[in-house]
């Protein structure tokens, strides 16, 4: 399969009925959940392709003589207000607002046009009639409604829609901008960490998100493992944070790579808004917004990689940006790993599970078998040793249905949708 098919983002909409994916080739593919089949009560509707469109095209920056990738970095859905659906998609430089609408009727019976579109000779028209709408095969159209461009010097890593549903933020390595969804020629800079002298640059912004309920509050994470919570009411430029979340380094784990593995690749608020989750290279951390000095929960994703950091630095895997997500009730968190493995952590029972997304090992409708990685010592049957892991098979993007136990897991070229077994 082609490199352009590499999935780069996965996102359910607010109802969970639609699932959008973006890929390296700039395309967006939207899947729709089929209506529940009344006869097959043991399974929910399947997801089928609903719409496909080209969101971004490659561009060329003539000033720097560099290509601007068309790869879709993030997709975020707007809550549905009318029949149409809206989503924001972004590449490194430009954000676009897309309207996805259905057309299942078309007007027929024009006076001056034939049904095939050819114009009739007016002199042959003898009677008048009123055109009527007739049903047609469902057509899903995507059209760009807004293009938000030229506001980012660096690469956009995040977009997040505010709970007021009127504004949204976009974050690049050094700056965060605030936009109004209706206004494309203007954005407000709310965070700027660019130093006067670029030689002094030691830290970049890695992710940002609005609080789900409080429309003045947002957080952004950094490459040094810190998260800053900012209140837009405090000042126009949120250079001073309201809160700084940082866990002190564990001295027994110090290494050359301590900083790199502490870099946060994703930050996500819980649906409740009380917690936020961060993903760094080896772990997932849950933070209580009221406690800044350490996370309340830490889950090791693949601690067995700690002794391999030098090799992972050499082959660049240490820079992989894993995402993480909450389930609808905030009781389980999920994130990806290597070898097409992904991990789930149950916050209540403290149990965790490793599963694999691959076609060879799983037939449709079979229950996924838990996997185990053997870190050292004798490898038990069915375990896989660390040295056999395939580091090219990485799961960076996962998403959880907002209401049901349905998950979407993206391997390099494939999208897997799993649902829990219903009794």
Partner 1 sequence: MLGKGGKRKFDEHEDGLEGKVVSPTDGPSKVSYTLQRQTIFNISLMKLYNHRPLTEPSLQKTVLINNMLRRIQEELKQEGSLRPVFVTASQPADPLSDNFREAQPAFSHLASQPLLPTDFVSTMPLESCLTPASLLEDDTFCTSPTVQHDGPTKPPPPALQPVKDSFSSALDEIEELCPAPTSAEAVAAQTAADDSKDLPSESNVQKPEGLPESRTAESKLMDSLPGNFEITASTGFLTDLTLDDILFADIDTSMYDFDPCTSATGAASKMAPVSADELLKTLAPYSSQPVTPNQPFKMDLTELDHIMEVLVGS
Instruction: Please report, as ranges, the residues that interact with partner 1 according to CB under 8 A.
Output: 61, 63-69, 92, 153-155, 173-174, 198-199, 201-204, 206, 223, 251-252, 254-257, 259-260, 263, 306-311, 313-314, 316, 319, 376, 386-387
Give min distance, CB of 63 to partner 1, in A. Answer: 7
* Smallest distance from partner 1 to CB 196, Å: 13
Which of 248, 209, 204 is CA-nearest to residue 224? Answer: 204
In the chain, % helix, strand, coil (3-state, to 5) comes to 10, 45, 50
Minimal distance, residue 357 CB to partner 1, in Å: 22
Shorter beta-carbon distance to partner 1: residue 300 or 419: 300
Cβ(107)–Cβ(115) under 8 Å? no
Q: Which run of H or of E encompasses 268?
A: strand 266-269
Question: Which residues have CB under 8 Å from 166's CB, separation 6+?
Answer: 180, 181, 182
CA 200 to chain centroid, in Å, comes to 31
State how far the Cα of 324 lies from the Cα of 212, in Å rounded to an integer: 16
Q: How far apart are CB 203 and partner 1 at their closest, in Å?
A: 7
Q: Considering the complex, what minimum distance in angstroms separates the CB of residue 381 from partner 1?
A: 20
Cβ–Cβ under 8 Å, residues 55 and 26: yes
Place of tokens 């430009």: 94
Cβ proximity of 266 and 279 under 8 Å: yes
Q: Which is nearer to partner 1, 252 or 423 (CB)?
A: 252
Closest distance of CB 226 from partner 1, Å: 14
Task: Look up residue 56 and give its DSSP letter.
Answer: -
**How wide is the angle at C-alpha 367 spanned by C-alphas 362 and 373, nearest 5°?**
70
Cβ closer to partner 1: 117 or 377?
A: 377
Quote the least distance from Cβ 351 to partner 1, whole Å.
28
- Residue closer to partner 1 by CB (options 312, 325) is 312
State the minimum distance, in angstroms, from the CB of residue 378 to partner 1: 12
Of 65 and 290, the one with the shorter C-beta distance to partner 1 is 65
Looking at beta carbons only, is 264 or 408 nearer to partner 1?
A: 264
For residue 329, count other CB atoms closer than 10 A to its CB. Answer: 13
Which CB sits closer to partner 1, 102 or 246? 246
Please state, in angstroms and as integers, the Cα–Cα distance from residue 192 to each residue in 135, 137, 221, 333, following that order: 53, 50, 13, 31
Closest CA to 78 of 173, 31, 12, 13: 13
Residue closer to partner 1 by CB (options 62, 119) is: 62
In the complex, what is the shortest distance from the CB of residue 372 to partner 1, in angstroms, rounded to a whole number?
Answer: 18
H helix runs in 102-248, sequence order: none
Q: Provide the 8-state DSSP code for 121.
A: P
Which one, 8 or 184, has the nearer CB to partner 1? 8
What are residue 21's DSSP bridge partners? Answer: 10, 29
């Amino acid at each position: 399969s082609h490199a352009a098919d590499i999935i780069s983002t996965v996102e359910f909409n607010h109802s969970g009925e639609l699932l959008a994916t973006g890929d390296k080739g700039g395309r967006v593919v939207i899947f729709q959940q089929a209506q529940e089949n009344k006869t097959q009560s043991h399974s929910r509707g399947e997801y089928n392709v609903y719409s496909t469109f080209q969101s971004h095209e490659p561009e060329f920056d003539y000033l720097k003589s560099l290509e601007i990738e068309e790869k879709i970095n993030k997709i975020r859905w707007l809550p549905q207000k009318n029949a149409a659906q809206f989503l924001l998609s972004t590449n490194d430089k430009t954000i676009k607002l897309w309207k996805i609408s259905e057309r299942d009727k078309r007007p027929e019976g024009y006076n001056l046009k034939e049904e095939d579109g050819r114009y009739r000779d007016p002199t042959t028209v003898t009677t008048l009639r009123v055109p009527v709408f007739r049903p047609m095969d469902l057509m899903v159209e995507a059209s760009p409604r807004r293009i938000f461009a030229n506001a980012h010097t660096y690469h956009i890593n995040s977009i997040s829609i505010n709970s007021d549903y009127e504004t949204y933020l976009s974050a690049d390595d050094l700056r965060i901008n605030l936009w109004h969804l209706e206004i494309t020629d203007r954005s407000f800079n709310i965070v700027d960490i660019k130093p006067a002298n670029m030689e002094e640059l030691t830290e970049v912004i890695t992710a940002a998100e609005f609080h789900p309920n409080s429309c003045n509050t947002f957080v952004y994470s950094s490459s040094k493992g810190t998260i800053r919570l900012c209140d837009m009411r405090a000042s126009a430029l949120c250079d001073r944070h309201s809160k700084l979340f940082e866990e002190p380094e564990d001295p027994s784990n110090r290494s050359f790579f301590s900083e790199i593995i502490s870099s946060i690749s994703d930050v996500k608020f819980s649906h409740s808004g009380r917690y936020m989750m961060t993903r760094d290279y080896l772990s997932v951390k849950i933070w209580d917004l009221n406690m800044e000095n350490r996370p309340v929960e830490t889950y090791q994703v693949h601690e067995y990689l700690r002794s391999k950091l030098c090799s992972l630095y050499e082959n660049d895997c240490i820079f992989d940006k894993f995402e993480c997500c909450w389930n609808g009730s905030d009781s389980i968190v999920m994130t990806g790993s290597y070898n097409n493995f992904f991990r789930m952590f149950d916050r209540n029972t403290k149990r965790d599970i490793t599963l694999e997304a691959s076609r060879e090992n799983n037939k449709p409708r079979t229950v996924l078998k838990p996997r185990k990685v053997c870190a050292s010592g004798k490898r038990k049957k069915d375990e896989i040793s660390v040295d056999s892991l395939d580091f090219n098979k990485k799961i960076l993007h996962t998403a959880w249905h907002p209401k049901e136990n349905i998950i979407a897991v993206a391997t390099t070229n494939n999208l897997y949708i799993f649902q829990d077994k219903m009794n």
